[in-house]
Structure 1
Amino acid sequence: MSWYLAFGGLFLDAYANAALSAGLGPMTDQMHLSSTQISVLTATAPFLAIIFNPVGGWLASRVGRVPPLLIAKVFAVAGALLAAFSGDFSTVWLGRVLVGVAYGVDFAVAMALLAEYTPKASSGRLNLWQAVWYVATTGNLALALGFYHLDVGQDIWRWSLGSAGVIAAVLLVLQWLFLVESPAWLASKGRLAEAVRNLRRMYGIEAVAADAPRATGGDPASGPPAVGFRDAGVLFKGAYLPRTLLSSVISLGQGLQYFAVGWYLPVISLTIFGESFEKATIGSMVFNAVGIAGGLASAFFGRRLGLRMSSAWGFGGVFVALVVMGLTFGKAPLAVAFCLPVLFILCHSAGPGANGKSIAALSYTSDVRALGTGVTGMVGSFGSVIGLYVFPQIKESLGLGTTFLVLSVVPLLGMLTCLAVKWDPIQAAASPDEVAATAAAAPGPAPRPVGAGEGQP
C-alpha cells in the first residue's frame, strides 16, 4: 500500500504535466497565446521545481517524509482548480505556480521514501517510476480524447487540468490515512520506538528498540544533527562527489531531452500525422505506450547492466535518434518518421529517463538522502526549464529538423559522463546505509560525519 501510494504521487506529477501538454493547442487558440506566453506557461512548473526540489528535501530531512507529501497534494489540488476555472493567462499561470510547488516537493521526497522502503536486492524496482510516468501521460491523453468526443470544444484543456485536481484530492486522503513514515528516517533521528512500530506494520519484522545512547557525563546524547541547506556541501565532498556529479548529469540530460522533445510529442504528432487533434493525440498515446514498455524494461536493464551503463546506452540511442530525426525530418517516409520518435522514447525511458532519479535516491545515506534527491532534482529541473522554454524559440527560428540536431549534443555529453564516472549503487556490495551502519558499529574511533573525507561512505 505504501509503495503504491508513494508511486501515486509520481503518477500525479506526470499527469499534471501531461494535462497541460495535451490541452496546449486548444488553450493557445482560445486565449490567443503568443510563443513567449506558451514558453512561460510550460516552463513555470519545472522552474518552481528548481526551488522546491531542495526545499522538499530539506523538509523531509527535518520533519519526515510523509508531511511534505501531504502538503504537496494540497498545493496540487489548489493549482489544478485555479487553472481549470481561470479566465485569463495570468490566472492559468498562477495555477501552474502552485502545481510547480507541488511537483518540486513531491518528486524529491517520494523518491527518497521509495528508496528507504525498498531492500537493496530489489532496488532496481525504483526505475518503475518511469513506467508510472508514461502510464499517467497516456492516461491523460486518453482522457483528453474522451473529452474531445464529448464535444467540449476548446474548453478541453480545462477538463484535462481539472482532472489532475481530482486525482490529487483522492491521493491526499489516501496518503493521509495509510502512508507510513520511513523506519530508516525515524531510526536516523533516534525515534527507535516509532521505527519499531513501522517495521512491524510494514514488513512484519519484530524488531526491538535499543536503549537510548548516553553521552559522556550521563546526560542523554542529543539526536543526530538536523540536516539543512548549509549541509548541502556534503554532497560535493569525498565519495559523494562523483555520485552527485553522475546523478546530476543524468538528471539534467534526461530532463532537457525529454521536455524539449518528448513533452512536445503532440506537436510533433501534428507535424507527422496532419492537423487533426484526434490523430495527433492517438499518435502521442502510441509514443507514450512505448515509454511504458521502456520504463518497465529499465528495471531489468538497471539490474543487469547497472544504472550507469544502462544510462550510457540509453543516451547513445537518443543521440542516434535525434541526429537521424534532424537529417531526415520532413523528407523521410511516414513509417521512418514514426519509428524515430519511438526509438527516442524507448531509449530515453529504458535508460537515463528512469535512472536520473533512481541513482540519486540510492547513492546517499538516510540522513542526507532527501536532500540529495532534492538537489539532484533541482539540477534536473534546470534541464526541464531550458527544454520547455528554449525549444519553442529554437523551433520557431530554425525549424524542427535543425532543432533536433542542436539538441543531439545533450545525450552525447550524458553518455560520455556515464562512461567516465564509475559509481553504480546497484553493483555496490552494500547500500550506503548498510556501509554507514557497519562503520558505526566497528570498534575504534567514532566515525567522522558523512562526507568528511575521501573514501567516507
Structure 2
Amino acid sequence: MAQRPGVNGVADVVALIDGLGRISGRARVIWYLVFGGLFLDAYSNAALSAGLGPMTAQMELSSTQVSVLTATAPALAIVFNPLGGWLATRIGRVPPLLLAKVFALAGALLAAFAGGFTTVWLGRVLVGVAYGIDFAVAMALLAEYTPKKLSGRLNLWQAVWYVASTSNLALALVFFHLDVGSDIWRWSVGSAGAVALALLAAQAVMLSESPAWLAGKGRLADAVRSLDRIYGIKAEAGTPAASARAAERHGDVGMRQAGVLFKGAYLPRTVLSSVISLGQSMQYFAVGWYLPLISLAIFGESFEKATVGSMVFNAFGIIGGLASAYCGRRLGLRLSSAAGFAGVFVALVLMGLTFNKVPTAVAFLLPVLFILTHSAGPGANGKSIAALSYSSDVRALGTGVTGMVGSFGSVVGLYVFPQIKDALGLGHTFLVLSAVPLLGLVTCLMIKWDPIKSAGSAAGPDADPGAPAAATPEATAATG
C-alpha cells in the first residue's frame, strides 16, 4: 500500500492540488457551484437593467431615483467587497458565500413585491451586500480550488456573467409575450430570488471549506478531510508548519493589515489589478450595462427590439469570455488586458466619431467590437488577476480591496454616463469615456507583473502573514 502524502502546511496542500491534471467528479461540481454565485450576481444586475424602463413608467420614477437604484448595488459593494474578504479570512470561505445567497434572496423578494421606490431601493441594498460579499470570496475560493496549470479557467467567470445577463433578458422576453404588462420588471427581479434559493440549497450541501485556508489556520486534520471530500486525495495530517504557528502568534490578517497589499512585491500587483478592475468596471457599466439604450438607438424604439439587440451583444460577450481563458493562458493576464483595453479604446473612439453617421450594420459592429475586446481581456482579468496575485493568507483581503476599487468604477460609470450623455449626447460621451481604456492600456504596459507569466509567482505560500510581501518578493503564491 502506497504511503499517503503528509500535510504540514499550506505549501503541501497547494502542491497536492497543483499536482492534479484536471478538475473532475465532485470537484468539478463544487467548482461550478462557486461560479453559480457569480452567475447570480450578473443575473440580479441584468434583472434591473432589463426591467428599468417598465419600472420607471409604472412607479413614475424621477431621473434621480433611477440613478440611485442603478448605483445602489455597486455602491454597497464598495464597502462589502473588503468586508467579505475580511470575513473569508476570519471565518472561512464558505460561510460568507452562503450568507450572500440569503441577502440576495431577501433583496429579490423585497424588490419584486415592492409598492414604492423606497422598498425597491431597500431590496437593491440587500442585493448590493450580497454582490459585494460573494464576488470577493468566490474568486479567492476558486483560485484555491484550482490547480495552477488550470488557473486561466478563472477567466470563465466573464462568460458566466454574460450567460446570466442573456438568460435574464430571454426570460424578460418570455414575460413580455405572456403579457404581464408593466409588472414585467417584478417577474424579472423576482426570478433572481429563485436562482438565489436554488444556489443556497446546493452550496450548503455540496461546498467544502478551502483546504488551503484550513491548513493556514493549523487545522490540518480538517484540511486533509476537505482534500478527500473535494478531490478524493488521501493524505495524512502532520505537524503544523512554522507559518501556521506564526499565524497563531500574529493573529488573523484583517482590515488593519490591509496596508501589506501596498508594500514590497505586492504593491505593483495591487496597483495593476486595481487599475484593471477599475477600468473594466467603469467602461462596462458606462456602456455595456446600457446596451438596451444603445440598442434602442440602433434598432428602433421597441422593448422587444432593444431586448433582442442586447441579447445579441451579450452573445458576443459569452464568446469573448470563453476566449479570455485561452488569451490569458497564451499572453498572460497583463498583456491580454492591454490588448483588450486597446480594442475598447478603438471601439469607443469610432463609436463617438461615427454615431448616427454610418449604416446600421457598421453601428452594430462597433458595440460588438467593444464587448468582444472587453470580455476577452480586462473584463475577465479584472477579477482573476487579484485572485492569483496573493498568497492564501491575504488572498481574500486582496480580492476584496480590488473588488472595492472595481465597484467604485461601477458607481462612477453608472452615474457619470447618463450625466455626460444628457449634456453632450451619446456620440461625444463615447469619446470622453475612451480615456478610461487608454489609462488601463498605459498601466498594463508600464507594470510588468503577471501571475501566470512572471517568474517566481508560485513560490512561498507559507510566508509569515505579518510580512508576506515586504520581506520576500517570492513569498506570494499564485495558487496558494
Q: TM-score scaled to structure 1, two decimals?
A: 0.95
Aligned to 2:418: 392
Does 1:113 find its partner at 2:133? no
Closer/same/farther in 2, CA of residues 179 and 431 from structure 1, 3 Å limit: farther
Gaps of 5+ in 1: 441-445
Maintained 8 Å contact 2:393/2:465 = no
Partner of 1:32: 60
Partner of 1:450: 468
CA RMSD of aligned residues (A): 1.7
Aligned to 2:113: 85
- SS of aligned partner of 1:435: coil
The answer to whether 1:228 aligns with 2:246 is no
Q: Aligned partner of 1:251: which letter?
A: S
**Residue range with higher mean Cα deviation, 224-233 or 367-376:** 224-233
1:54-133 to 2 correspondences below 5 Å: 54-133=82-161
Question: Would you say 1:289 and 2:307 are equivalent positions?
Answer: no
Opposite residue 140 of structure 1, the aligned amino acid is N
Question: Residue in 1 aligned with 2:217?
Answer: 189
- TM superposition shift of 1:214: 8.6
Q: Distance in 2 between matches of 1:357 and 1:4?
A: 16
- 1 CA distance for matches of 2:410 and 2:130? 16
Question: Residue 163 of structure 1: which of 169, 173, 191 is its match?
Answer: 191
Out of 36, 44, 51, the residue aligned to residue 8 of structure 1 is: 36
| Contact map agreement 2:456 2:474 (CA 8 A) in 1 | no
Distance in 2 of aligned mates of 1:221 and 1:199? 21
Aligned mates of 1:163, 1:177 — CA distance in 2: 22
Unaligned runs of 5+ residues in structure 2 are 1-28, 476-480
Q: CA deviation at 1:422?
A: 0.4
Runs of 4+ residues over 6 Å off in structure 1: none
Q: Partner residue of 2:12?
A: none
What does residue 373 of structure 1 align with? 399
Structure 1: how far apart are the matches of 2:271 and 2:239?
39
How far is 1:431 from its partner?
Answer: 4.6
1:3 Cα deviation (Å)? Answer: 0.4
Question: 1:435: which partner in 2?
Answer: 460
Aligned counterparts of 1:143 and 1:334: Cα–Cα separation in 2? 26
Q: Give the superposition deviation at 1:256.
A: 0.2
Contact 2:277/2:406 (8 A) holds in 1 = yes
Partners of 2:164 and 2:31 lie apart in 1 by 16
Report the Cα offset of residue 211 of structure 1.
2.4
CA distance in 1, matches of 2:117, 2:159: 32
Cα distance in 1 for partners of 2:473, 2:241 equals 27
Compute the displacement of 1:228 (Å): 0.9
Identity rate, percent: 76
Task: List aligned pairs for 1:354-369, cutoff 5 A.
Answer: 354-369=380-395
- Post-superposition Cα deviations, 1:92-132, rounded to whole Å, max 9, x if no partner, equal 11100000000000000000000000011000000000000
Does the Cα contact within 8 Å between 1:295 and 1:354 map onto a contact in 2? yes
> Residues of 2 paired with 1:447 and 1:38: CA distance?
44
Contact 1:145/1:278 (<8 A) preserved: yes
Residue identity opposite 2:225 in structure 1: R
Is the contact between residue 35 and residue 392 of structure 1 (CA under 8 Å) also seen in structure 2? Answer: no
Aligned partners of 1:436, 1:45: CA distance in 2, in Å? 34
Looking at structure 1, the residues matched to 248 and 77 of structure 2 have their Cα atoms a distance apart, in angstroms, of 34
Q: In the alignment, is the contact (CA less than 8 A) between 1:212 and 1:220 conserved in 2?
A: no
TM-score with structure 2 length normalisation? Answer: 0.90
Residue type at the aligned position of 1:227 = V
**SS in structure 2 at match of 1:247:** helix
Name the CA distance, whole Å, in 2 between partners of 1:196 and 1:454. 28
Q: Is 2:164 the partner of 1:136?
A: yes
2:264 aligns with 238
Contact 1:237–1:454 (8 Å) recurs in 2: no
- My pick for the range that moved more, 327-336 or 28-37, is 28-37
In structure 1, the partner of 2:179 is 151
Counterpart-to-counterpart distance in 1, 2:246 and 2:280: 47
Mapped to 1, the partners of 2:322 and 2:57 lie a distance apart of 36
